[in-house]
């Protein structure tokens, strides 16, 4: 399927289904290394389909696994095709998110589609939170037990602490304080809180 850029309607791209044969699982060809795609993502065929497309061309492939539909949003780049698996998303261009590529000494530009734009703006967020929750020490590194439920609990605690620290800074219009300083204050307030067993202060 693709979204027509002029009227925003979904158009059936029968050729995708015909060419890709509704492939559920793709294995790399002989000599093709590190090209394993998740089940239901016909990566090699998608690359072949995009070979003659201009840079910035975008299209969405609709696939199904075990009766569940999902989408593969694709955009042609200079040397590869970006592929994002999703359960939603539109192919609307974002006029405020333009990108540039230098091809053979000539600069070209195109607007990212909504799904690629969101991905590019947010793809570093998980890394940012992980960096903060490990700075200067990770809670799971100093927690004595390695029992799996405790490991999950330390992860959820540390992510919540980072989110609280960042949210407080954003609410105050200030830079976020260092993680360890925030941890100390939070731990002290949790130990010295006045909340009763009934949840009342």
* 154 and 139 Cβ atoms separated by less than 8 Å: yes
Strand partners, 106: 103
| pLDDT at residue 8 tops 50 | no
Interval 112-152: pLDDT, tens: 888 888 888 888 777 777 788 777 777 777 777 778 888 88
Q: What is the pLDDT of residues 82-120, one digit of tens each?
A: 898 888 877 888 889 998 888 889 998 999 888 888 888
Tell me what pLDDT residue 81 has. Answer: 92
pLDDT, mean of residues 28-53: 71
Question: Closest by alpha carbon to 113, among 84, 139, 135, 136?
Answer: 84
Provide the token pair at 135: 């700075």
Judge contact between 169 and 151, C-beta under 8 A.
no
Residue 33 has pLDDT above 50, yes or no: no
d(CA 88, CA 72): 9
Confidence of residue 198 (pLDDT cuts 50, 70, 90): low
- At residue 127, the pLDDT reads 78
Can you tell me the distance from the alpha carbon of 129 to that of 176, in angstroms, rounded to the nearest whole number? 12
């Amino acid at each position: 399927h693709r979204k027509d850029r002029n009227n925003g309607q979904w158009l059936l791209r029968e050729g995708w289904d015909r060419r890709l044969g509704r492939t559920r699982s793709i294995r790399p060809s002989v000599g093709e290394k590190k090209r394993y795609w998740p089940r239901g993502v016909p990566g090699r065929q998608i690359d072949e389909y995009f070979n003659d497309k201009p840079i910035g061309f975008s299209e969405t492939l609709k696939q199904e696994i075990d009766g569940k539909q999902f989408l593969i949003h694709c955009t042609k780049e200079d040397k590869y095709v970006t592929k994002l698996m999703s359960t939603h998303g539109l192919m609307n261009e974002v006029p405020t998110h333009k990108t540039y590529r230098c091809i053979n000494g000539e600069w070209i530009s195109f607007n990212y589609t909504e799904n690629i734009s969101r991905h590019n703006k947010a793809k570093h967020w998980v890394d940012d939170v992980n960096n903060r929750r490990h700075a200067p020490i990770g809670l799971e590194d100093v927690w004595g037990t390695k029992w799996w439920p405790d490991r999950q609990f330390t992860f959820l605690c540390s992510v919540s602490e980072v989110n609280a620290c960042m949210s407080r800074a954003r609410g105050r219009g200030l830079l976020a304080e260092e993680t360890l300083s925030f941890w100390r204050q939070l731990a002290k307030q949790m130990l010295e809180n006045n909340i009763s067993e009934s949840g009342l202060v």
